[in-house]
Amino acid sequence: MKRPIGIRLDGCIYTSNGEDLSEEEFSNAFIEFIEEKGWYFGGGHFQIDEEGNHIKDIV
């Protein structure tokens, strides 16, 4: 059996219109994209501010 080769993501995603991007909005769009392709995702994600610091919720 061939060993699977994948892609590791390491980066940040911001909107280009200056509006906040919620974790839920991103997660829904990302998972929809992954499932449409027949792929799967293993890992995690969390919200950050403009400096890359982890935040619990958009204020």
Residues 40-54 have pLDDT tens digits of: 998 888 888 888 888
What is the pLDDT at residue 32? 97
pLDDT by residue (tens digit) across 3-55?
A: 888 888 888 888 999 888 888 999 999 999 999 999 999 888 888 888 888 88
pLDDT of residue 50: 82
26: burial class by Cβ within 10 Å (0-12, 13-18, 19+)? Answer: middle
| pLDDT at residue 36, rounded to an integer | 97
**For position 43, what pLDDT does the model report?**
87
